[in-house]
Amino acid sequence: MDAKSPHREPVRRRRERSRALADEFDGVVSRGLLRTVGVDHRMVRREVAAGRWALHGVQTVATVTGALGPLAHRWRAVWEVGADIAAVDGVTALQHAGMTGFDDDVVHVSVKHTAEVCPVDGVHLHKVVRRVDGELVAGGLPRTRPAVAAVRAAHWAVSDPQAALLLVMPVQQRLCTGAQLLDAVGRVRGRSRRAFVRQVVSDVADGAHSLGELDVAAACLRRGLPPPARQTVRRLPDGRAYLDLEWPEARLVVEVDGTGHLLALATSDDTLRQNSVALGASLVLRVGLLGWRLTPEAYLDQICAAYWHRVQRSA
């Protein structure tokens, strides 16, 4: 063996090099990377037996003992599935990009549908028809970009409400833009709730707000209500307010809130406007556009009940 071979180095030195390497991956390292610093399977076996290191699968070695952190779990998932074919995707890719407020301890990983892979504990494997151009982030943990990850997460969600949430949150938290979501939904093929995902992405990208008003108005007509006035102007102490839908004979106003209304300052402005309109004896009902996509009949029940009650009371 060459005198310069890393295998000639003292075990202590190789152990230090291994730990320094693992620090880049939150305390874990793959067997392939260990070989680059002169650590073979025999040394791994000895370190594990001595209680200094721990195995977390076939390919993943921790140079520390104890529970792994989120980043270590993600690297483990990639190495165990296959570093050359796997990418962290969906909810996990969004969490890696900084998304907060959504808990999911399983690591979601995507591979091409032709890949032959074995199940990995703690990893949810998803087979995708194809990788779209530019979907992977260059450098670091192999992962999909937020817009692609959000669309896939919505297709993989357990329910429509969860799917809508996973499309709204990345835009709210500025991980991607509505325009990027629109581009991703046009290129990523999902296997479930395709129409719903496209509709919600359109709403999230907005410009769909006016379409939401039309949807609500048309549904009210089908329920037997008269046509509402749209975008009527109300003069308020702090300026003008444009009301989405209004039935003056019932003193009933319906405001359709697009995703832009979910931002903190917009919510404050909407509340002040609603209070000003209510002080003029009009009832203001709010319809969240994403909520409308999920449960339109429940909103319609409220609107119709309010309309007929107020018309009869004023007769």
State residue 123's pLDDT score.
97
Alpha carbon distance 258, 211 (integer Å): 10
> For residues 21 and 51, what is the distance between their CA atoms, to the nearest angstrom?
19
DSSP 3-state percent helix, strand, coil across the chain (nearest 5): 50, 15, 35
Taking a C-beta distance cutoff of 8 angstroms, is the pair 284, 278 a contact?
Answer: yes
Domain parsing of the chain, residue ranges: 6-62, 70-205, 209-314
Could you give the CA distance from residue 287 to residue 245 in angstroms, rounded to a whole number? 11
Reported pTM: 0.74
Reported as a single tens digit per residue, the pLDDT across 126-165 is: 999 999 999 999 999 999 999 999 999 999 999 998 998 8
Q: What is the SS3 assignment for 63?
A: coil
Answer whether 156's CB lies under 8 Å from 165's CB. no
Q: What is the CATH number of domain 209-314?
A: 3.40.960
Helix, coil or strand: residue 83 = coil
Tell me the three state secondary structure of residue 32: helix
Q: Tens place of pLDDT for every residue, the chain, 315 residues?
A: 444 555 567 899 999 999 999 999 999 999 999 999 999 999 999 999 999 999 999 999 999 999 999 999 999 999 999 999 999 999 999 999 999 989 898 999 999 999 999 999 999 999 999 999 999 999 999 999 999 999 999 999 999 989 988 998 898 889 999 899 999 999 998 888 999 999 889 878 764 445 677 788 889 999 999 999 887 777 766 667 678 899 999 999 998 886 554 444 344 455 556 666 665 678 889 888 888 888 899 999 999 999 999 999 877
DSSP 129-162: S-PPTT-BPSSSS-BB-HHHHHHHHHHH-SSHHH
